[in-house]
């Protein structure tokens, strides 16, 4: 499944949202109660990769989530390992069920700024799901799975757009980030980003202009 959406925030918020899986309580109405556990992460000059153990610990899931779980894809009673990697400008996510070797769920996504101030970005994504053993099952379930993914994305968009509005109203980032994983991904974005265009008018006042001129200040 391919998707294309506009989100009203700086693209770094998108990288942080996907990489930090501790926000899963936001999706509890869709996924039920998910307990993420950071297994570890690796950082290099041009990438950050983190792995989480996902365990469903209760709560009601919607139909799309139940269909995925029935196929052993995300949120089943057995835990899943989710690996997210940011390698500017892309992000990938792979979900591997317990005792499996190949991913059952894979996501590729890129965020492209739409304006010089970078208050808006366009999200391009490709979602791939392993075919279940029952012929035609995925085809029948696809409308519910699409609705499930749309609802998850809508909740994430609500959160990141609220973060951007808070930044604009405050004039800077008042949040003092302490999660090392997020601090590392900010460094990767600074180090590898390419400005939309050069010049002091765009980059002079922005400490994040190494990842392109922006109104967002990253410490």
pLDDT at 86: 95
Give every strand in the sheet of 121-129, ordered side by side. 2-7, 121-129, 105-113, 90-97, 80-87, 47-58, 33-44
Q: What is the mean pLDDT of the chain?
A: 79
125 token code pair: 């994504």
Going from N- to C-terminal start, the domains of the chain cover 2-177
pLDDT band at 214 (very low <50, low <70, confident <90, very high): very low
- Span of 11-20, 106-115, 165-174, 205-214 with lowest mean pLDDT: 205-214
Reduced to 3 states (helix: H, G, I; strand: E, B; else coil), residue 182 is helix
- The contacts of residue 157 (CB under 8 Å, 6+ apart) are 5, 7
Contact 121, 161 (CB under 8 A): no
Pick the closest to residue 19 from 113, 160, 122 (CA basis): 160
DSSP secondary structure code for residue 130 in this structure: P
pTM: 0.80
Cβ atoms of 53 and 46 closer than 8 Å: no
Instruction: List helix spans (H) across the chain.
Output: 11-19, 28-31, 63-70, 137-170, 180-192, 200-203
Query: Tens of pLDDT along 6-34?
Result: 999 999 999 999 999 988 888 888 777 88
Q: What tens digit of pLDDT does each residue of 33-79 get?
A: 888 899 999 999 999 999 999 887 776 665 555 545 554 554 445 57
Q: Which residues contact 117 (CB under 8 A, 6 or more apart)?
A: 213, 214, 215
Average pLDDT over residues 98-103: 76
Helices (H), 20-136: 28-31, 63-70
| Assigned superfamily of 2-177 | Naphthalene 1,2-dioxygenase Alpha Subunit; Chain A, domain 1 (3.90.380.10)
């Amino acid at each position: 499944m391919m998707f294309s959406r506009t989100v009203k925030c700086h693209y770094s918020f998108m990288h942080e949202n996907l990489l930090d899986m501790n926000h899963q309580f936001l999706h509890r109405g869709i996924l039920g109660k998910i307990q993420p556990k950071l297994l570890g992460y690796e950082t290099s000059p041009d990438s950050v990769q983190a792995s989480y153990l996902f365990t469903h610990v209760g709560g009601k899931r919607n139909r799309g989530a139940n269909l995925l779980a029935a196929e052993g894809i995300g949120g089943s009673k057995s835990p899943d390992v989710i690996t997210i990697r940011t390698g500017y400008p892309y992000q990938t996510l792979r979900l591997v069920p317990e005792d499996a070797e190949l991913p059952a769920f894979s996501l590729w996504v890129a965020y492209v700024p739409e304006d010089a101030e970078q208050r808006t970005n366009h999200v391009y994504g490709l979602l791939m799901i392993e075919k279940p053993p029952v012929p035609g099952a995925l085809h029948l379930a696809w409308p519910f799975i699409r609705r499930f993914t749309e609802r998850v994305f809508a909740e994430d968009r609500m959160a990141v757009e609220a973060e951007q509005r808070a930044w604009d109203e405050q004039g800077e980032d008042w949040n003092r980030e302490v999660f090392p994983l997020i601090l590392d991904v900010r460094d990767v974005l600074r180090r590898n980003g390419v400005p939309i265009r050069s010049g002091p008018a765009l980059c002079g006042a922005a400490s994040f202009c190494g990842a392109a001129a922006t109104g967002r200040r990253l410490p």
